[in-house]
Structure 1
Amino acid sequence: MQTVLNVTMPILSFLICILVAYILGKTPAFNFLNARENRFKSLDGIRGFLALSVFFHHFVITYYWKDTNIWASPPEKMFDNFGSVGVAIFFIITGFLFISKITKKSTTNWVSLYKSRFFRIVPLYIFALVVISLIVFASSEFNLHVSPQVLLKDYIKWGLFHGGSLNGFSDTRRIIAGVDWTLKYEWFFYFCLPLISLCISKLKKVGMFFLVVTALILFIQPLYIFSFKTNYLILFCIGGLASYLVKYYKPSFKITGKTASTFNLLFIITAMLYPNTLDIFHVFTIAIVFLLTLLGNDLFGVFTLRSSVILGEISYSIYLLHGIILYLLFTVAFPLEASSSLLSDFLLLMPVTSVVVVLISATTFLLIEKPCMSIGKK
């Protein structure tokens, strides 16, 4: 029974989210998508499912956290990989998009690029931090439990995407499910772009080879530098390689059809069930899923549905805010007593929680993300 629910509840949640996104797509708020032309529509579509996968990962972690008081990867490998695979493909997509951007023209407007990134990422992050702060200070009855200097230092750390406790509240990062850790890797990659651009433009294929070999070495023999794990760099590199191949070899074909979708599905299932998370075979499997999707495979049409594209549009809100929603639901509003309930019972709440996450994420996308992105493009 447990195994059946482990599989069926995420699938049901995906389907319900598609339905909710379909309804949202009928509103005028998302009419801006009608005028969009996108070469890589399947990539837009997959992003929503990646963000939801990370949400499912933390949904199950929340159950075990309430049971053991330990925030750790869930014992079920599928739920563990939901998080790892989702983040890995997000990093690959980032590598692909931004290496494509900096190699598209002979010169890059770096001020414009960093301005757009700031207004894309930071406003919603500030909103999340404000909500986190309200929860933390409400929990302490709005009393200051640390010195102003310590509190300022704590906020500076959060501003650098390296947050810890706030006001001495030990579970601060649990409120956001710890997802902020990926943003420091994103920004590290963004700040490396001028160097990468210089390396590629001046050294051509030799520069590309050097970057790939460096990333591969740092994957096989990872270093830990100021809380950065260098093994994640290979994921950005895979995206960059894909960008290079698309630009210089210009594949005119698309890997579509039921046979290709079947292979893509098999690779997705393998990636989700593989026991050794993010080893070289796992990364290879994840890369194949990305490449198949990049080359037009839409997984039986799912990734190119308007509903999927809408989920992709709001994926950053889903990713950044789902932890807050889980905390408010199962720690504040309806405190979960995991010791008195089974995981199978808790999983039954996944579909309805998914609806809440999607609706709130759509709202924050329209009210915060979209207006701020427009400012960033000016």
Structure 2
Amino acid sequence: MASAVFFHHFVMTAYNLKHGTTGLPPSKFYSFIGPGAVSVFFMITGYLFWGKLLDKQGRIKWIELYSNRVFRIYPLYLFLVLSYFAFVLWHIDFSNAPTFYDVLCQTLQWLALGAVNQPTPFFNHPQFLGVIGQTWSLHYEWLFYLALPILAVVAREKSSIAIIGSALVLISLRSDIVSQPYNFFIAHFLIGMLSASVLRAFPQLKGDGAIRSLAAVAVAAAAIRLSDLPYSNLTTALLGVAFFFVASGASVFGVLTAVGAKRLGNVSYSVYLLHGLIINLLMQFQRYNANLVFTTERFWIVTFVTYGVVVVVSFATYYAIERAGINLGRRVMQAGRSEPRVQRDSLAK
């Protein structure tokens, strides 16, 4: 999914650079795969965390869950934010700098890990948002996490499939309840949740095979071919069906279970978060930009070289930052669990 977002942004950046425009490229495929990948990412999040609630009947150690999420997400996010600040400061003219108070507010907005929706561009320079713009999805991810304690009540109900299914139908048919595109974001999470419930209630639906893989690919292709907008009821339904096939075990002819795919999956958060920074850093070199727009052949060479750089950097940040953050979070939680034990032992003496 993260790789799809990279190609979406890279093709869009190259097209706009070549033609002096802004916005999406004319290619329906490359315009779709970015938002489509984020849609599936929301489905995966709904599937995984709703699945945890179902498996534990809503009885979750909430402090541990939220602590794990912060230590999993924030270290790399902080690295990106600081890099974004440095990138902006490197390029701007300080003669028209905003007030200290404004800069402080902007800094705190960006450091809030998605708590603030659409933070003000640092130093009021929106032209550099390409470095960090992909973090918009973290806001909705956190809204879902904050809703989990309420959803835990539903997870204890035997009729959870009917409840989630009804909510999905309601949010899809009544756009007056939640405005677009936010209703589709909610629908994506609900599709993941519904898939988790159905597959636990009917485990016989799980399995792999050529027919399942073909169906998953065909439905995903139909979502791209038949949908005019990345966020619509038709797109959401088709992507939801494709997701269900994969969630139930379809390996897409072995691609998703390949060692390379699994390793890329491990670093997908780094790929997703850092590709904008890397693309913008490389675009500081005029020769890079010239090759990017010179010929189609050179464009694709530059594309895959850039993707290779993104992947290599992502492996480095995964081990140096992401894994370090995860391990730190575990140590913090272990220390928190051991401290009450020590206090009880001292009182017993």
Short-chain TM bin = 0.7 to 0.9
The answer on whether the counterparts of 1:267 and 1:286 sit within 8 Å (CA) in structure 2 is yes
Partner in structure 2 of residue 125 of structure 1: 77
The answer to whether the 8 A contact 1:64-1:338 is kept is no
Q: Does 1:263 align with 2:215?
A: yes
Equivalent of residue 303 in structure 2, options 327, 350, 356: 350
Q: Partners of 2:110 and 2:13 in 1: how far apart?
A: 22
Check if 1:150 corresponds to 2:102: yes
Structure 1 counterpart of 2:52: 101
Moved more, 224-233 or 106-115: 224-233
Q: 5 Å matches for 1:35-114?
A: 50-67=1-18, 70-106=21-57, 107-114=59-66
Count of aligned positions: 325
Alpha-carbon offset, residue 325 of structure 1? 0.9
Cα distance in 2 for residues equivalent to 1:195 and 1:134: 40
Deviation at 1:226, TM superposition (A): 10
CA displacement, residues 208-244 of structure 1 (integer Å, 9 cap, x when unaligned): 5344433433333436979972221001001101111
* Deviating more after overlay: 274-283 vs 87-96: 274-283
Which AA in structure 2 matches 1:185?
A: Y
- Counterpart position of 1:186: 141
For 1:171, which of 123, 127, 133 is the aligned residue? 127
Cα distance between partner residues in 1 of 2:75 and 2:277: 16
Q: Give, as a single letter, the amino acid of the residue that structure 1 aligns with 2:304.
A: P
The CA distance in 2 between the partners of 1:204 and 1:331, in whole Å, is: 57
Q: Which has the higher contact order (CA 8 A, sep 6+)?
A: 1
Q: Which runs of 5+ in 1 are unaligned?
A: 1-49
Relative to structure 2, which stretch is displaced further, 302-311 or 69-78? Answer: 69-78
Higher Cα Rg: structure 1 or 2?
Answer: 2
Further displaced range: 209-218 or 131-140: 209-218
Over aligned residue pairs, what C-alpha RMSD do you find? Answer: 2.6
TM-score normalised per structure 2: 0.84
Secondary structure of 2:283 counterpart: helix
Q: How far off is 1:69 after superposition?
A: 5.0
User: Mean alpha-carbon deviation: is it higher for 124-133 or for 217-226?
Assistant: 217-226
Does 2:152 correspond to 1:200? no
* Distance (whole Å) between structure 2 residues aligned to residue 290 and residue 342 of structure 1: 36
Query: Are the aligned partners of 1:164 and 1:172 in contact in 2 as well (CA < 8 Å)?
Result: no
**Secondary structure at 1:209's aligned position in 2?**
helix
- d(CA) in 2 for partners of 1:175, 1:242: 34
Q: Indicate yes or no: 2:294 matched with 1:326.
A: no
Shift of 1:97: 0.2
Using the TM superposition, name which of 61-70 and 152-161 deviates more. Answer: 61-70
CA distance in structure 2 between the partners assigned to 1:268 and 1:211 by the alignment: 23
Is 2:42–2:188's contact at 8 Å kept on the other side of the alignment? yes
1:196 partner SS: helix
Contact 1:132–1:324 (CA under 8 A) maintained in structure 2:
yes
Aligned residue in 1 for 2:233: 280
Q: CA deviation at 1:89?
A: 0.8
Partner SS for 2:123: coil
Distance 1:372 1:143 in 2: 38
